[in-house]
Structure 1
Amino acid sequence: MTREKNRFTKLQWLAFAAALLIFILFSATTVYAAGDVAGAIENTWSAAKSQIKTVVNNVVFPVIDMILAVLFFVKIGTAYMDYRKHGQFEFTAPAILFACLIFTLTAPLYIWGIVGM
């Protein structure tokens, strides 16, 4: 009977130990990191604030405005068709869409003061 003393060779143990050491060294670098993390985040936010504001003003609000305008005119059309069919004009849905459209059209003028940018 042969007795299997060690399944791994010395070279395999050495490779495993080297890989483990490299892993520990890479994950331990953050432990020794010194500095002001909050300051770095504030600086990043200050740099990105104007870009975020520009994208929201030039992309997000116009897309929302276009969607609301299309929905508003479609709702006006369907309300008119209902008026011709039943003789009663329903103002609620078009009025809500119109109010939302006015809100989003004028939002870039005052929303940044509310948000604090």
Structure 2
Amino acid sequence: MKMKKMALLLCMALLVIGMYSVPVYAKGDVAGAIEGTWTTASAQIKTVVNKVVFPAIDLILAVFFFAKLGTAYFDYRKHGQFEWAAPAILFACLVFTLTAPAYIWRVLGI
């Protein structure tokens, strides 16, 4: 009985999707329109990524780096051995994201 209800529900969903979907046929130069939109929007995308996304990632990585450095220091005080792996990885990521806006757009070809 439960399988019958599920099959009926699936058939109804497919019927509704079929009724409300409309085929779209593109006429003209679709690729040219997409390329034109990309060239006009790429400058805005670069600005947003450089001024919002990279600084947000930098802030998060800096907080994690200093928090991990603090916990590594307290582990050193407790066990006498300093673990460098996690702070070193976070520092490398932080340096990478701090310097990324200078070269990332040339690498991507934009």
TM-score, normalised by the number of residues in structure 1? 0.71
- Of the three residues 29, 32, 44, the one matched with 1:36 is 29
Corresponding residue for 1:62? Answer: 55
Q: Which residue of 2 aligns with 1:96?
A: 89
How much does 1:34 deviate?
A: 3.7
Larger gyration radius, structure 1 or structure 2: 1
In the other structure, the counterpart of 1:48 is 41
Quote the Cα distance in structure 1 between the aligned partners of 2:34 and 2:94. 35
**Runs of 4 or more above 2 Å deviation:** none
Match of 1:73 among 42, 49, 66: 66
TM-score by length of 2: 0.76
Describe the SS at the equivalent of 2:28. Answer: coil
Asked if 1:113 corresponds to 2:102, the answer is: no
Bigger helix fraction: 2
Q: Percent identity?
A: 72
Q: Number of aligned residue pairs: give it.
A: 89
Deviation track 1:80-99 (CA, whole Å, cap 9, x = no partner) reads: 10011111111111000000
CA RMSD after TM alignment: 1.5
**Unaligned segments of structure 2, at least 5 residues:** 1-21
